[in-house]
Each structure stands twice: as C-alpha cells, then as structure tokens.
Amino acid sequence: MNCLVVVAHPLRESLCHALAARAVQALSARGHAVEIEDLHAQAFAPALTGDERAAYYRPGYDAPAVRGQADRLLAADGLVLCFPTWWFGFPAILKGWFDRVWVPGVAYDHADDLGPIRPRLKNLRRVLAVTSLGAAWWVDRLVLRRPVRRVLKTAILGACAPSARLEMLSVYKSEKLDPGRVEAIAARVEAALARWG
C-alpha cells in the first residue's frame, strides 16, 4: 500500500510524534511505501486564503501552494493521522490541512446543482487516527460523544472517501503517561497497522 502519515503536533518530543514514528516503522517493516507529512516541520499555513475559497466553485479548481500535499493524498491507499485533540476538536494546523488540501478536484467534486458532493478519494481504503487528549475517556465518549471521530468518520471520510475503513485510537489523560503505558499504546498502533496487510 501507499501510506501517508500526517503529524500535526508542534512539539517534536510529543507523544504524537513518537506514535507517528512507530507507525512509520510498522508500515515500512511490512513493505508499505510511506510518505510523511509533518505539518509543523513544513510550516504548513492552515488558513484557507481568500483566493482559494473563491476558487472552490470555479471550474478546474487549482491550489498550487498545496499541490504537493494534494498529490500525496491522492496517491494514498492508507492514511495515518497523529494529532492532539484540543478543545475537543482538531488542532488548527490539521483543520487547515483538511480545508486547503481536501478540496474540489482532489477529495471531491461538486454536484452540478450544488447538491451532495461526489467523493474522489476512491483509492483510500484504510485510515488510522491516533489522537491524544488531556481529558478522561468518559468526557469524550459520554458527555461530548466523540466529536472528533464523528466529524472525521461522517463529514470528512463519509463525504470524500466513503469506502475507507476508519479506526480511531484515542489516548486519554495523555499528559500523565509513564513509559510502560506509552509502549503499550505504541503496540496498539502497530497492531492496528498489522491488520492493513
């Protein structure tokens, strides 16, 4: 498989970076081709520009500033997202990656009557989302009903890559992890990716 690993944490020593590195190792060891998209290291600009937004409904949408990211997304059969959940949402840089890269002509096409969009990411078969949260599990699951997972599964993948199978690994109370727990979480990431074949 062609796999894209997207990391969206500003601190190199973060749990997200450590788990992304283990994901890259696991995928490479199984013979998959791996591309890494480290959004902070690339100084990815998350804000959708006025010109980009105005072009959303023009024929032949083109965003040359993110063409490389779009090409890597289009080539991916598997996608690993490693990011923190902040305020029960995506960090700004990852939300901006969705806004600027998952665009018309890349992730979807507009319907002629501006009805439901038509998915384009038909190659994307597997998605693993690994996210760290400071909150306890019950706040995310019982109180807020997993908002990040719902948006990712229903709004983003459901609209653009409906055949993709999503697995989500949420790491709760992530600021208080001992090395043994970090290793156990990394093993869960590796086990999830082993199921990709």
Which pLDDT value is given to residue 2? 97
Is residue 7 within 8 Å of residue 38, measured between CB atoms?
Answer: yes
Among candidates 111, 83, 118, which has minimal Cα distance to 97? 83
Q: How far apart are CA 169 and CA 186, in angstroms?
A: 10
- The stretches in the chain having pLDDT less than 50 are none
Among candidates 96, 121, 138, 21, which has minimal Cα distance to 7? 21
The token duo for 171 is 């790491």
Packing angle between helix 179-194 and helix 15-29, nearest 10 degrees?
40
Which pLDDT value is given to residue 114? 75
Which pLDDT value is given to residue 172? 86
Domain ranges across the chain: 2-194
Local structure of 190: helix, strand or coil:
helix
Is residue 125 within 8 Å of residue 157, measured between CB atoms?
Answer: no
Which pLDDT value is given to residue 58? 82
Q: What share of the chain is helix, strand, coil (3-state, %, to 5)?
A: 40, 20, 40
Q: Which residues contact 42 (CB under 8 A, 6 or more apart)?
A: none
Strands 118-119 vs 108-109: parallel, antiparallel or unpaired: antiparallel
Tens of pLDDT, residues 80-114:
999 999 999 999 999 999 999 999 999 999 888 87
Which pLDDT value is given to residue 197? 79
CATH for the 2-194 domain, from 3.40.50.360, 3.90.1150.10, 3.40.50.620, 3.40.50.970: 3.40.50.360
Which pLDDT value is given to residue 118? 94
Q: Which residues contact 104 (CB under 8 A, 6 or more apart)?
A: 56, 57, 61, 110
Local structure of 148: helix, strand or coil:
helix
Which pLDDT value is given to residue 189? 96
- Kindly report the number of other CB atoms within 10 A of residue 26's CB atom: 22
Q: How far apart are CA 56 and CA 39, in angstroms?
A: 23
Which pLDDT value is given to residue 119? 96
